[in-house]
Structures are given as C-alpha cells and as structure tokens.
Chains A and B, each alone.
Chain A
C-alpha cells in the first residue's frame, strides 16, 4: 500500500539531494571557493552514490514498467485481459517525444550530461507511475 506515494517520496528525496550537492559543488568550482563541500569526504561520497542510485532507479523502473506492460491475466474476470491499449499509447508517446526532448535538452542545457540525470529520472518516474496505474486498473491494490 502506498507504493506510488512512498516511491515518489524516495525518488524526489534522491533528486533533491543530488541537486543540492551538485549545485553546491558547481558553485564552489565556478567561483574557485576556498571552502568547498567536495573537500568533505562523506558528502563527496554521497554525491556519486546518489547519482548511482538515481541511475539504477531509472533502469529498474524501465524494466519494471516493461514487465507490467507485458502482463496478461486469465480470461473470465470482468477486467481487461492485457494492458495492450496502454502499451500502444505509452510506447508511442515516449517514442514521439524522444527526439523533441533531445533537441530541447541540447539547446537549453548544452552537451554536458549534468542535467540529463534529472530528465532521465523524470521520464523514469512517469513511466513507473503510469505502469503502476495500469497495474491498478488491471488488478488494483496499488495506491
């Protein structure tokens, strides 16, 4: 119960932590600050660890989303037997916006991948939440 709410909370906490740390480290680098939080061992370890967590989340959410989209249930009940309609809409939507997102990202944020992790996680969150709602439509039990 509460998987969507708790999942989003953890993802947003990770994104917020990564954003705060990357901003502070970037601020210190840009201004050549003598006091730099990257000099702190634990915080400088937290930064790549959080980045790794977000990347892992993005991969796992894509895998989980795909597995839910491929779900079928036994006929006879008063529910849809597969998530085919959701698959078509969702997959096409992602395919359409990929090129637009790529161009927009290159033009606004440049060629570096510092901000890309946020877009990746954002798309991952949308994909996982969509998949969980599809699961809820088919089987229920997810809030």
Chain B
C-alpha cells in the first residue's frame, strides 16, 4: 500500500510522554563547578575541624591519604575487605535466588501473594539487628553468620520489587494480548513476564545490594570478624587515618556498585521508552 502519509513520519519520536515537568537536561559546566565546589567545601570543613580538634579525634585529609591509604595494600586491609565482599556476594546471591522466584510467584498468583506477604513484611518490619544475639547462638562466629545476616537484610527489596513488577505485567494489557495470541505459558514467562518485570527486578537488586553491605558489616562488627573487626580495632587503637581510608574504600565500592546498577537500569528503561525516574540530580 501504501500511504506514506507525512503526518506519521513527522510525528515520530514525539509520542506523548509524562506530563510532569521536564527535568533532566544535561548538567551544565556551572552545575559541575558547583558539585566540585561542594566537595571542596566539605574537605575544607574537614581540614579545619581536624586542625582544631587534633589528630586524635579527626586526622587531616593529607594524613588519611598519606598514612591511611598505603596500609590498605601493605597491611592487607583491602584484601580482607575483598573476602568480606565475597561472603557478602554469596549471601546476596542466595537472597536473590530466593527472592526472584518467590517474588514472581507473589506477583503472578493472588494466593501466593497472600501466603508470602506476611513473611516478606515480617522480615521487613521486625528490627533485624535484634536477631544478632540469637543468630550468633545458632550459627556461631564466622562466615555462615554473615550469610544469614546478608540474607535477612537483603531479601526484602528484590522480593517485593519482583512481586510488583510481575503483578503489573500479569494484570496488565500485555498479558491479555499474549493470551489472545495463545502464547504458551513458558514463552509468556520468557518473553513477557521476565522482560516486563526486569526494570523492577533491577531496582530491587540495586536496593537489596545496599542492604547487603549493611548486613555483612553489622554481622562482622558484632562478631569483630574480618573487615568489621578491623574497623572496630582501628577506632579503638586510634588508627583513625587507616579507619577513614578503609571506610572510604567500602563506601566507594558500595556507591560504585549502586551507581552501576542504576546506570544499567536506566539504560533498560530508556531502551523501552519508559520514563526514567528514581535517582535525582543525574543527567537524564
């Protein structure tokens, strides 16, 4: 046929988007300058405070760099943190292995949603650190204890987000369309349910990973084990430059993994023409 009507071609890529204000222009040089100014301001304040309270309370910036960073390598602190990360990842993979199928089940079936909701929210609403004294009796000091804490801390977000994503797909128009096209159950799962809930699952994983960091550190602080033990010892023995360097490394790792997952998530959303929301202050 066919009518290559001009209206169609010219109106392409102008599909109506959300009616909210358009934010998200590329940050200007001005913004970058201000961002850097903020961090310089923080460092200056740090330096001034350090100068006035003394090195026993707060080491200077150069002291953290000069005295704190080399021991990360020479004393093997970074390697120790690597071990901690490894244990955390094992716990987190276990958490996701439970959370993703269970979440999909919750989203897809009302019955399972009713059955699993009390457990999901039970884990979430109960103050998990309160389990520390009990869990240590059950699992002892060491790696297993860490896995369990990571599991308890990290399972909620992937679970609940997967459930939400799956439920939006199952109760949404795409699912009805697939039924109308008589797509088999397996293929609906593979080509509709999983890709459809992917942005939610990714958000759940991102938030869950943040919780996993908190869980493993709490477990290790409680048992004075590995990285947690190091952090505690450094403060007790006044090795503050080392403490801040190690804390900086942990923070950087956590922020980097969180941001990477966020970038991936936004890429997936943008690839589908979905609104990119969530983290603010980033280019768009």
Mutual binders A and B:
no
